[in-house]
Amino acid sequence: MSLPIRNVAIIAHVDHGKTTLVDALLKQSGIFREGEDIPDCVMDSNTLERERGITILSKNTAVRYNDTLINIVDTPGHADFGGEVERVLGMVDGCILIVDANEGPMPQTRFVLKKALEKGLRPIVVVNKIDRPQADPNIAVDKVFDLFVELGADDDQCDFTTLFASGLSGYAKETLEEEGVDMKPLFEAILHHVPPPAGDVNKPLQLQVTTLDYSDYLGRIIIGRIHNGTIKAGQQAALMKEDGSIVRGKISKLLGFEGLQRVEMQEASAGYIVAVAGFADANIGETLTCPNEPQALPLIKVDEPTLQMTFSVNDSPFAGQEGKFVTSRQIRDRLHRELETNVALRVEDTDSPDKFAVSGRGELHLGILIETMRREGYEFQVSQPQVIYREVNGQPCEPYEYLVLDVPEEAVGASIERLGQRKGEMQDMQTGTNGRTQLEFVVPARGLIGFRGEFIRLSRGEGIMNHSFLEYRPFSGELATRYNGVITSFEEGVATFYALQNAEDRGVFFITPGTKVYKGMIIGESNRPQDVELNICKTKQLTNHRSATGDELVQLQAPEEMSLERALEYIGPDELVEVTPQSIRLRKMKAQKLVKR
């Protein structure tokens, strides 16, 4: 006899404590043996996730509580990875919406909640981080209720269950007055408020593929929920492809989830979330079904991408020196392999065999792909991100973003002014008691390209910026996003201390002495609107005369560090980012008419 099941997703805005809360649920469910070394954010297993402190990929785990199997799906909190959220919501029957007690609902809270309500899910609201100073859980609950009403929730959904928790301290409670002990109230809420999975064991098998994994031993592994029927290890099954064709095969291995492990199963029925090996051609959204009565489930629909970049073969003077995979065929194969698991991504061929148009949800979405490829040994170059325009009712429209800034009081005026120049419209302004102000804007997606770096400088690194896709609106006209020109190298060689020191009055540099440069490589930002070309490989003339000031210690001003995200935001329409496993360089597409110095 199979166990009672609950399938639940954990959704929230980035950094509101989803993964930490899952840590607490795992630790208190008894799946770890006593004395076992358990890392923090145990679900963030990807290297990039651990480095950045964010969840990028949705992941499954399962715990047992009072003889009930609770399948938990941890989802990303950043708007750029919304495709991950959209596809896994079809696997679950309920969700836990986590809201920061201090910040309240944020842009991604709105996005994930809207998707959950559209699926008919009834969220359990957990107000997290109640032990932080300046936390106001009651105001957070009021704001959540207002958001439910605004998003058109029905009466049942608006009558949500609320818990107050601290994921870090490992407790949840029903009222603020009672003492927090453990996560038992959240486990009980899941049992009572998340309905058991619907599905008929006696119907033909239907399993929808929502996640793909790979094992060197088993090959491609498909993960999904059994909507109807029963699945057995070794049985024959049919895969209903997106184009309507049917691929028959055998289930070579059936795996279930238990804590962080996958455990081998012989049989699973409707409601279970399982991993299946044996179908090498499976893609996300397709249906694994009974070979005698094949019936497909509706394909997973995700929102369309809003940003596009061109990936191309590196053709700079330093091409091929640092990368392992450098040809157009290798880059094309890698991008198409990404399509198998990244549902929100689009890849199209262009007129040139060396260039590919790659579309995604935002700069971070595409930036993570670029960083992953770079670490795998790929060398290529990418163009400035461009928004994807659409025609609505015969009128050209562009994507708009809902933007929330949390800034110190002294940076409020400058932030409003800069966003005004980028066609942003302020919707709301709330002054807090801690000397910070929350600003809400609606701004064209174009206006946010390159804004993050500028905003960090305006707020002296103290500002917090969050945004998510809002809707398509009529084109708002031309806008300028960069006001200064760039400094490019005049020749190929090695940058010298002497040349950089003499050119310090020209602007801010991105390089240090000893950096290899080539003609057309961007080495800094000019303090004038025009582009400037400099010879920074010039060496000091040596003579046999001694100088009275020759031994004085001279220091260069600190260069501006160009991370991958900063480089993608910074470049203009006629510029490229050259990406290799060892370096990130900025360059002009071709020789420009520059002012020589």
Instruction: Tell whether 109 is in a known binding site.
Output: no
Count CA atoms closer than 13 A to 231's CA, side-chain side.
33
Contact 560, 456 (CB under 8 A): no
The maximal CA–CA distance of the chain, rounded, in angstroms, is 97
Q: Mind giving me the DSSP string for 324-380?
A: SB-SHHHHHHHHHHHHTT-TT-EEEE-SSTTEEEEEESSHHHHHHHHHHHHHTTB-E
Helix axes 184-193, 18-28, angle to 10 degrees: 100
Helix (H/G/I), strand (E/B), else coil: 147: helix
Query: What is residue 574's three-state secondary structure?
Result: coil
Strands 124-128 and 94-100: parallel
Query: Is 80 annotated among the ligand-binding residues?
Result: no
78 annotated to a ligand binding site: no
Beta bridge partners of 224: 209, 274
Nearest to 276 by CA among 294, 293, 254, 302: 254
Q: CB 386: neighbour CB atoms within 10 A?
A: 16
Do 130 and 165 contact (CB within 8 A), yes or no?
yes
Angle at 556 between CA 550 and CA 562, to 5 degrees: 155
Q: Is the dihedral of CA 62, 271, 188, 55 positive or negative?
A: positive
Give the position of tokens 């050209």. Answer: 396
CA gap 295, 536 in Å, rounded: 67
Is 433 flagged in the annotation as binding?
A: no
Instruction: Give the Cα separation of 529 and 311 in Å (integer).
Output: 28
Tokens for 481, please give them: 């996003």
Q: Is 314 flagged in the annotation as binding?
A: no
Residue 310 marked as a ligand binder: no
Q: Is 20 one of the annotated binding-site residues?
A: yes
- The rounded distance, in Å, linking the Cα atoms of 75 and 579 is 29
18 is in an annotated binding site: yes
| 128 assigned ligand-binding residue | yes
Please tell me whether 355 is known to bind a ligand.
no
Nearest to 569 by CA among 463, 487, 456, 461: 456
Residue 441: what residue type?
F
Three-state SS for 176? coil
Q: Which residue has the tokens 């670029």?
A: 370
Number of H helices, E strands in the chain: 14, 36
Q: Would you list which residues are annotated within the binding site?
A: 15-20, 128-131
Q: Would you list which residues are annotated within the binding site for GTP?
A: 15-20, 128-131
